[in-house]
């Protein structure tokens, strides 16, 4: 089929590339208005404390300072997604070091800094809850004393410092353990990590005389930000316009309101446009990073390597507010099940409050944490059973038509092919090619998030096309992919399409650039719009050409039948003269994925829609003295359903692996006593060109039943398996099993010392 395609399936250059390479593309952090002020935020200097005094009089009187605001100046509301526990500013007490206490707007950054320094705030320290164990201990201080009074969706199971417990129960796990020949129990731990988007979070807000505020933001979810701002500002959403000029990376870190509300409040108070942008320090102390976690797994297997039962629990350190925690805890249980056929399951995910920054969503939320545990344990078990890790997986993986953990029926399952191709490419038969060298394997599954998308597609009088989408382009080229789908249908070139920036005022609704859904959902909305446009085009052209509409075809920018043809431009002009122009509203909503409701509890994400499957294999060496890891080769075989644009899918895989390797080997936001020890990019070590190997991407294509041309979500998955693949390769190379992330050289070196001592 792809052979007959002109645009989809081709590695064409992205539609926004010229502006990006020339430096003319404007991002939210570049956006400026005349008279704009600089806004800055005063943040808590203690992890848990009562505010006993907060006086801004001196700050407000400083030269150049135009506005100072605190909790006293804003509506007294708690907001949030499924659980409303957050406030714009700390009120009465602070719950993490970095929590906003006040904000200022001034003519220059220097004046704003001076104003922050002049705010008089006095704290009375409270006992802080600094990690998961402390938060869960009997008698632990409550981070939210009034948690029971908070508004929450009823599905959540909350208790004290636990802001959700999600559960999957299938079969009878105790009976499953009885049927097992051996039962394995392990515990894993992972660190908190930051998305590391290059562009800091930034927003510019400006109010007009009608009382409408416009916010230019680099959010991934303009419509959610619009609604959240409506809640925070206590205004109707129609009075709030969110525009996304350009986004310098998001990876889930720009889903929620971050600085937009401060810009809006400060702009209202000062009567001037205000920009608020974060610093690197604010990013690493007060953003929405990936939750650190503890995972416990108990798995029963028969002698011949069939898994009979699995009990698993993951505790996610969600910080001082729930943020994405309750949802991520739910998703985690599906990852804990793994892409395996296991008849008996008892899986729980807990989102737990601590006195740390509010964690959020980071590319495949919970994926790397839970998969690290699952796939590490798969190798441990395979070793214990004296089975090849590939063979052990092949005996247990899901295949076409199998049931997922909550009873969903799985279609388009390309996992076996992924495992076989990844291992073939890495040279799996020779798993330990030399001293200190080893190969590791990990596999997994992930979702293509649902939600609805709408597009307006307009045909210009020159035959080119304007694509209006409310989905933000965050860098993935997903909008380019959707535009390729549109171009194919309309018989035009990709370069004929221009894309309008997401704007809640004028572009149709979109559920947002999250969950690997954008190309999938916007692509499908484009198909719907194209079908409508073709009807309009054929009706007009049929009259003009004197043929039946059914006889017409649309190709090569012309509509034709019986040897007669009319250009798309002619039809568009004709429509402008007679019918208001060619425009269509295409929409898409992913159909629900049926599952067994009796198997889940407290669960906000009970099934993976159009699931993707993937296998990673790595060949690496470990320095016997320093423990330093050198990666020789990294292979990803990913079932993408259908590759709309192979180049940018490879880009997702290469980038996702690099980001995954950072979380695996070097990255961690390190807390001590409630304070982040490494709030800068020198000490928070993201991979550079010297750290990242070349990645071989193998695109496996088992079509989704729903996606455009069978495509599945591709953006998040490559970030899931690197920790487990590397941990398994390190174990193969050295015999040292590291059960916590990051797998630093220090941990490996200490493991080697222990191994030598144990062996002596």
Distance, in Å, from the CA atom of 84 to the CA atom of 569, rounded to the nearest integer, reads 51
Nearer to another protein, 272 or 431 (CB): 272
Q: Which two tokens stand for residue 302?
A: 């028969």
Q: Does 611 bind another protein (CB under 8 A)?
A: no
Q: Which two tokens stand for residue 519?
A: 């190309």
Q: Does 117 bind another protein (CB under 8 A)?
A: no
Among 694, 705, 753, 756, binds another protein (CB under 8 A): 694
- Pair 656, 717: CB distance under 8 Å: yes
Nearer to another protein, 14 or 712 (CB): 14
Interaction with another protein in 96-115: which residues (CB under 8 A)? 108, 110
CA trace torsion 226, 232, 236, 240 (10° rounding): -40
Identify the CA nearest to 499 among candidates 477, 524, 528: 477
Nearer to another protein, 349 or 655 (CB): 655
Among 317, 650, 667, 721, binds another protein (CB under 8 A): 650
List CB contacts of 624: < 8 A, sequence separation 6 or more.
435, 436, 734, 752
Q: Does 25 bind another protein (CB under 8 A)?
A: yes
Identify the CA nearest to 302 among candidates 184, 170, 442: 184
Identify the CA nearest to 710 among candidates 648, 649, 639, 647: 639
List CB contacts of 24: < 8 A, sequence separation 6 or more.
none
Distance, in Å, from the CA atom of 488 to the CA atom of 496, rounded to the nearest integer, reads 11
Nearer to another protein, 247 or 486 (CB): 247
Nearest approach, Cβ of residue 636 and another protein (Å): 11
Q: Does 85 bind another protein (CB under 8 A)?
A: no
Nearer to another protein, 27 or 392 (CB): 27
HEC letters along 430-492: CCCCECCEEEEEEEEEECCCCCEEEEEEEECCCCCEEEEECCCCCCCCHHHHHHHHHHHHHCC
Distance, in Å, from the CA atom of 239 to the CA atom of 241, rounded to the nearest integer, reads 7
Among 7, 8, 9, 14, binds another protein (CB under 8 A): 14
Number of residues that bind another protein (CB under 8 A): 59
Nearer to another protein, 227 or 279 (CB): 279
Among 45, 212, 227, 280, binds another protein (CB under 8 A): 280
Q: Which stretch binds another protein (CB under 8 A): 336-344, 445-453, 656-664, 730-738?
A: 656-664
Nearest approach, Cβ of residue 214 and another protein (Å): 19
Among 10, 30, 60, 140, binds another protein (CB under 8 A): 30
Q: Does 272 bind another protein (CB under 8 A)?
A: no
Distance, in Å, from the CA atom of 612 to the CA atom of 211, rounded to the nearest integer, reads 46
Identify the CA nearest to 103 among candidates 235, 348, 326, 274: 274
Q: Does 29 bind another protein (CB under 8 A)?
A: yes
Q: Which stretch binds another protein (CB under 8 A): 9-17, 449-457, 514-522, 601-609?
A: 9-17
Interaction with another protein in 204-263: which residues (CB under 8 A)? 246-251
Backbone Cα Rg of the chain: 27
The DSSP symbol for 409 reads B
Q: Does 656 bind another protein (CB under 8 A)?
A: yes
Q: Does 465 bind another protein (CB under 8 A)?
A: no
Distance, in Å, from the CA atom of 525 to the CA atom of 392, rounded to the nearest integer, reads 41
Site string for another protein, 185-204 (x = CB under 8 A): ----------xxxxxx----
Residue labelled with tokens 């070139």? 493
Interaction with another protein in 469-498: which residues (CB under 8 A)? 474-477
Nearest approach, Cβ of residue 23 and another protein (Å): 2
Catalogue the E-assigned strands of 573-649: 582-589, 600-601, 612-622, 629-639
Nearest approach, Cβ of residue 450 and another protein (Å): 24
Distance, in Å, from the CA atom of 341 to the CA atom of 319, rounded to the nearest integer, reads 34
List CB contacts of 429: < 8 A, sequence separation 6 or more.
none
| 3-class secondary-structure state, position 292 | strand
Q: Does 678 bind another protein (CB under 8 A)?
A: no
Nearest approach, Cβ of residue 363 and another protein (Å): 10
Among 692, 745, 750, 755, binds another protein (CB under 8 A): 692
Among 222, 454, 651, 708, binds another protein (CB under 8 A): 651
Q: Which two tokens stand for residue 525?
A: 């909305």
Nearest approach, Cβ of residue 681 and another protein (Å): 4
Q: Which two tokens stand for residue 672?
A: 């001590």
Q: Which residues bind another protein (CB under 8 A)?
A: 11, 13-14, 16-27, 29-30, 32, 108, 110, 195-200, 246-251, 277, 279-280, 474-477, 647-648, 650-651, 654-659, 680-682, 686, 688-690, 692, 694-695
């Amino acid at each position: 089929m792809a052979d007959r395609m002109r645009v989809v399936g081709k590695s064409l250059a992205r539609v926004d590339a010229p502006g990006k390479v020339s430096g003319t593309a404007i991002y939210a952090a570049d956006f400026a208005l005349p008279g704009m002020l600089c806004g800055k935020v005063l943040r808590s200097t203690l992890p848990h404390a009562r505010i006993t005094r907060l006086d801004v009089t001196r700050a407000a009187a400083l030269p150049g300072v135009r506005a100072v605001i605190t909790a006293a100046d804003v509506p007294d509301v708690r907001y949030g997604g499924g659980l409303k526990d957050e406030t714009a500013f700390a009120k009465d007490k602070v719950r993490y070091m970095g929590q906003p206490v006040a904000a200022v707007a001034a003519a220059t950054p220097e004046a704003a800094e001076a104003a922050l320094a002049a705010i008089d705030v006095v704290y009375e320290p409270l006992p802080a809850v600094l990690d998961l164990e402390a938060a869960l201990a009997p008698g632990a201080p409550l981070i939210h004393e009034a948690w029971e009074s908070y508004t929450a969706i009823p599905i959540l199971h909350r208790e004290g410092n636990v802001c959700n417990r999600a559960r999957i129960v299938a079969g009878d796990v105790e009976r499953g353990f009885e049927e097992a020949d051996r039962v394995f129990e392990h515990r894993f731990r992972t660190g908190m990590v930051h998305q590391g988007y290059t562009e800091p979070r930034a927003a510019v807000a400006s109010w007009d005389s009608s009382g409408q505020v416009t916010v230019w933001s680099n959010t991934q979810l303009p419509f959610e930000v619009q609604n959240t701002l409506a809640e925070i500002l206590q205004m109707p959403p129609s009075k709030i316009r969110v525009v996304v000029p350009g986004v310098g990376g998001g990876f889930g870190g720009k889903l929620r309101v971050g600085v937009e509300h401060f810009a809006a409040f400060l702009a209202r108070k000062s009567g001037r446009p205000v920009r608020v942008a974060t610093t690197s320090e604010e990013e690493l102390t007060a953003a929405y990073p990936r939750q650190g976690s503890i995972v416990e797994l108990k798995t029963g297997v028969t002698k011949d390597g069939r898994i009979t039962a699995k009990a698993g629990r993951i505790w996610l350190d969600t910080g001082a507010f729930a943020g994405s925690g309750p949802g991520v805890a739910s998703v985690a249980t599906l990852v804990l099940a793994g892409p395996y056929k296991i008849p008996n399951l008892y899986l729980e995910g807990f989102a737990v409050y601590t006195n740390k920054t509010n964690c959020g969503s980071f590319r495949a939320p919970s994926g790397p944490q839970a998969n690290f545990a699952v796939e590490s344990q798969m190798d441990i078990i395979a070793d214990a059973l004296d089975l090849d890790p590939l063979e052990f997986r092949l005996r247990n993986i899901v295949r076409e038509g199998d049931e997922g953990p909550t009873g969903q029926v799985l279609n388009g399952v390309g996992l076996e092919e992924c495992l076989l191709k990844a291992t073939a490419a890495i040279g799996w038969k020779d798993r330990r090619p030399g001293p200190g060298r080893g190969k590791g394997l990990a596999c997994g599954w992930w979702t293509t998030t649902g939600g609805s998308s709408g597009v307006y597609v307009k045909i210009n009088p020159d035959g080119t096309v304007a694509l209006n989408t409310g989905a933000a382009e965050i860098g993935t080229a997903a909008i380019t992919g959707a535009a390729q789908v549109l171009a194919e249908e309309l018989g035009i070139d990709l370069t004929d399409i221009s894309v309008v920036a997401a704007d809640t005022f004028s572009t149709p609704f979109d559920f947002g650039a999250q969950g690997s859904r954008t190309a999938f959902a916007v692509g499908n909305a484009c198909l719907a719009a194209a079908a409508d446009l073709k009807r309009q085009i054929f009706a007009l052209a049929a009259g003009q050409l004197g043929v039946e509409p059914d006889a017409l075809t649309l190709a090569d920018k012309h509509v034709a039948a019986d040897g007669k043809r009319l250009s798309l431009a002619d039809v568009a002009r004709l429509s402008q003269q007679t019918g208001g122009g060619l425009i269509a509203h295409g929409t898409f909503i992913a159909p629900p994925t049926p599952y067994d409701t009796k198997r889940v509890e407290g669960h906000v994400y009970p099934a993976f829609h159009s699931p993707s499957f993937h296998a990673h294999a790595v060949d690496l060496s470990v320095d016997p003295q320093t423990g330093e890891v050198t990666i020789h080769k990294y292979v990803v075989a990913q079932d993408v359903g259908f590759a709309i644009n192979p180049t940018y899918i490879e880009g997702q895989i290469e980038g996702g692996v690099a980001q995954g390797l950072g979380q695996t080997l070097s990255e961690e936001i390190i807390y001590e006593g409630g304070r982040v020890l490494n709030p800068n990019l020198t000490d928070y070590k993201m991979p550079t060109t010297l750290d990242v190997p070349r990645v071989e991407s193998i695109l496996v294509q088992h079509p989704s039943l729903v996606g455009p041309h069978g495509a599945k979500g591709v953006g998040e998955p490559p970030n899931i398996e690197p920790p487990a693949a590397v941990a398994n390769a390190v174990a193969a190379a050295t015999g040292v099993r590291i059960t916590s992330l990051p797998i630093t050289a220090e941990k490996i070196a200490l493991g080697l010392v222990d191994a030598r001592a144990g062996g002596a």
